[in-house]
Amino acid sequence: MDYSNTAVIIPCYNEALTIGKVVDDFHRELPGAIVYVYDNNSSDDTSQVAKQHGATVRHEPRQGKGNVCRQMFRDVDAECYLMVDGDDTYPAEAAKSLCEPILNGEADMTVGDRLSNGTYAEENKRAFHGFGNNLVRAMIKWIYGYSFDDVMTGYRAMSKPFVKTFPVLSEGFQIETELSIHAVDHRWRIQDVPVEYRDRPAGSESKLNTVSDGIKVIAMIGTLFKDYRPLKFFSLIAIIFAIIGLVLGIPIVAEYFQTGLVPRFPTAMLAVSFMFLCGLSLATGLSSTRLQRLNESNGSYKPIKPIQNKKRSGPNPDLFLFKT
């Protein structure tokens, strides 16, 4: 298969120890593909090592993996985008299995699944990472009805239409969750591809903070839930307000029918307030859903021209439309 229209995109921060091997491995497995290394303010020799091994190196000054991915998706022009971390934890030998469904038009995103074969549980020594992955998977399944085998993996391939119409909101490690939710919500074709996982080599340190980045991921799920499924989101809030209002209000109403008096007037007002918030939440959900559908059907578009990998003799035909 021809991989000349494939781009291997690698966001990096202080990965001088491993990036050379990663670049060599993907050059070997995907002959003809262009390997891009985006250096995110590394304080070591990541850029120099990547250049020495034949990678195209670019720099992104805004700190955070999400910021790097936003710029990579905007800059790079390819038919297949293979995104992988620069820490040598993902096998390049699985690259063809991830890219071929994209290049054959069978999928829009393939996900490198580390969990199904058990290698992630065996190799990963960092506490709570497996628990966090399972929690995010369960939340996405409950909200969207789709079950990923591995939602937090940094190894995935994507088609050009998917990449060029994906509005990156994340700044950091929430990007994998955002990619997964966007694919499910917009009904892109998804395939899970089992891959072997190996832990970082000695001397290489993870940049992921389990607690703070985990909180950001959960917050991102809530934000996307509100944006993508506003009626369901605000209906759940309305139910919570309704339950509180009923718990406070039912004893007041019962006492009124028995005595004809409302002795706990502040409690009665609080119950009415919660029921008002319930109605307000439902109205917000309905109006947001209506506005969302109007934007989808009547939204304005503008062409975005990506930076080219190589020179073209004529005008670029690959202009994709971005919704604003």
**DSSP secondary structure string, 10-25?**
EEESS-TTTHHHHHHH
- Specify the number of domains making up the chain: 2
Give 246's pLDDT tier (boundaries 50, 70, 90): very high
Q: Among 179, 212, 227, identify where a domain stops.
A: 227
Domain containing residue 55: 6-227
Q: How far is CA 173 from CA 85, 252, 313, in A?
A: 12, 49, 39
pLDDT tens digits for range 178-189: 999 999 988 999
Same domain, 242 and 216: no
- In this prediction the pTM is 0.75
pLDDT tens digits for range 85-115: 999 999 999 999 999 999 999 999 999 998 8
**Which residues, 6+ apart, have CB-to-CB distance to 161 below 8 Å?**
108, 320
Residues found in the chain: 324
Same domain, 41 and 119: yes
Is residue 319 a part of any domain in this protein? no
Is residue 315 a part of any domain in this protein? no
Q: Which residue has the higher pLDDT, 278 or 131?
A: 278
DSSP 8-state symbol, 187 = T
Same domain, 112 and 123: yes
Same domain, 264 and 278: yes
Same domain, 211 and 151: yes
Is residue 313 a part of any domain in this protein? no
Same domain, 223 and 100: yes
Give 308's pLDDT tier (boundaries 50, 70, 90): very low
